[in-house]
Amino acid sequence: MKLADIIRPEHTFIGVSVSTKWRALQSLAEKAGKAFAVKEKTIVQALESRENLGSTGIGNGIAVPHAAIAGMTSPRGLLVRFAQPLDFEAIDDLPTDIAFLLLFGESNRGEYLNVLAAIARRLQSEGVLQSMHKSRNVDEFYSSFIGDSRP
């Protein structure tokens, strides 16, 4: 599994302006709805339901909101850097400025866990997170994360 197959360059955004975690989820759902031809309302409801179980803010300024969406056949994702860090109720109480939205089908929850593990491994690579924060444009931001994992 390659992260570049799940999070594509055209599904990467920087400077997304939102003021709250819930507005962030709405913005992510809007972008994902357009990108993956899924109803925005369906995505928002799934993300909010998941978030009500506990924050997907994993710390270090990173959030990984995720949800199962009926009809999706493979995991798909967005990579976003917010214009300003926001309170995502992360486990370390630090503000969040980078989000990985992951959507997956009901039948491939196991794949989601593999994607999450791959994201975590990549973020632990030396200099990746720092490079993502310093990126000046979408191409740099995406390349900083994907690195040598492109197909």
The reply to whether 66 belongs to the active site is yes
Question: 111, exposed or middle or buried, with CB in 10 Å at 0-12, 13-18, 19+?
Answer: middle
Q: Residue 84 corresponds to which amino acid?
A: Q
- Among 58, 100, 61, smallest CA distance to 84 is for 61
Which of 21, 66, 76, 81 is an active site residue? 66
27 Cβ partners below 8 Å, 6+ apart?
Answer: 16, 18, 80
Q: Which residues are catalytic?
A: 66
